[in-house]
Amino acid sequence: MILITGANGQLGHDFQRLFDELKIEYLATDYKELDITDIERIRKFVKSRNIKLIINCAAYNNVDKAEEDKEICYKLNAYAPRDLAIIAKEIGAEYITYSTDFVFDGKKKTPYTEEDEVSPLSIYGESKAEGEKLVLETYDKSFVVRTSWVFGIANNNFNKQVINWSKGRKELSIVDDQVSSPTYSYDLAKYSWELIKTQQYGLYHLSNDGQASKYDQTKYVLDSIGWDGILNKAKSSDFNLPAKRAEYSKLDSKKLEKVIGIELPTWKGGIDKFLVELKGEL
């Protein structure tokens, strides 16, 4: 049996969709059913359920609020992933958890590899970097997957915000000095599953192919939906946000592509599929 934590989020939702398509049995839990910050509760939950794989999709993702919520951010992003690794080790299950491009400072001008040193600029990034380290130290049958700018049909995300902004405004200003790769959560689930099947444990990068600034991403979404307003380029310094963002944090996914033997699809293709899904929900 597969256990999915954080099942109501974007990635958790798409793992369920993927497993339904593949007719694979799973248990989907969110914090109401299973609080991952309570190790004894997790231990009790898994005891009689014959769990063979734990997929941790739960996380604290509010990057700006994390600057004042350090304790809960670390609980969810560092210590809970470690505790799940401890439990996975106790029951002999495989384990996968997720990290972020926010572990890097953005000073590099070429895509970040798994060998690059982490240097986070925010509490959120620090908590994720600590979580990676703790998990990899705790259990050798763990996958830690870094990803970037995730969007999907479940919950809120940047693409949905852009579409909502466009409904009430004829002019938008979006930063062009933050560059990474938007990643479709269904692709993240699908290619994570391909990775899990290899049993080649360790640290991996998984984001859609290509790179974009927030401005490029916004332009692609708005052009796709036929918005006829004015889109302006802005700078991060124009917005007084509590957490600092990296200027460049594109992840190099070649290690993962080599292991699974598949080239990852582009971020534009991911947005195309996302918009089709969104239309289906309206």
pLDDT tens-digit map of 238-274:
988 999 999 999 999 999 999 999 999 999 999 999 9
Which is it for strands 179-180 and 212-213: parallel, antiparallel or unpaired? antiparallel
Where does residue 172 fall: left (phi above 0), alpha (psi -120 to 50 degrees), or beta otherwise?
beta
Q: Is residue 109 part of a domain?
A: yes
62-76 average pLDDT score:
96
Q: Is residue 116 part of a domain?
A: yes
Q: How confident is the model at residue 178 (pLDDT cuts 50, 70, 90)?
A: very high
Note the pLDDT of residue 279.
86
> What's the CA gap between 55 and 79, in Å, rounded?
16
User: Which pTM was predicted?
Assistant: 0.95
> What's the CA gap between 118 and 116, in Å, rounded?
6
> Cα–Cα–Cα angle for 142, 144, 149, nearest 5°?
155
Q: Which residues are catalytic?
A: 124
Q: How confident is the model at residue 99 (pLDDT cuts 50, 70, 90)?
A: very high
> What's the CA gap between 33 and 216, in Å, rounded?
39
Q: Is residue 141 part of a domain?
A: yes
Strand partners, 257: none
Q: Is residue 280 part of a domain?
A: no
138-161 average pLDDT score:
96
Is the pLDDT at 281 greater than 70? The verdict is no
Q: Is residue 235 part of a domain?
A: no
Note the pLDDT of residue 74.
98
Determine which helix (DSSP H) or strand (DSSP E) holds 4, and give its type and residue range: strand 2-5
- Please give the span between the terminal C-alpha atoms of the chain, in angstroms, as a whole number: 34
Q: Is residue 176 part of a domain?
A: no
Cβ atoms of residues 107 and 98 within 8 Å: no
Q: Is residue 221 part of a domain?
A: no
Note the pLDDT of residue 47.
86
Is the pLDDT at 80 greater than 80? The verdict is yes
27-31 average pLDDT score:
94
Three-state DSSP state, 204 = strand
Note the pLDDT of residue 118.
97
- Tens of pLDDT, residue by residue over 200-227, are 999 999 999 999 999 999 999 999 999 9
Cβ atoms of residues 175 and 215 within 8 Å: yes
Amino acid letter at 227?
W
DSSP codes of every residue in 9-48: SHHHHHHHHHHHHHT--EEE--TTT--TT-HHHHHHHHHT
Note the pLDDT of residue 98.
98
Residue 116's domain is classified under what CATH number? 3.40.50.720
84-107 average pLDDT score:
97
Full residue range of the structural domain in which residue 262 is found: 2-156+182-210+251-267
Cβ atoms of residues 43 and 87 within 8 Å: yes
Max alpha carbon distance in the chain (Å)? 58
> What's the CA gap between 265 and 158, in Å, rounded?
19
Note the pLDDT of residue 209.
97
The two tokens of residue 256 are: 């993962």
Q: Is residue 246 part of a domain?
A: no
Is the pLDDT at 282 greater than 80? The verdict is no
Q: Which of 77, 84, 72 shows the shortest CA–CA distance to 4?
A: 84
Say how many domains are in the chain: 1
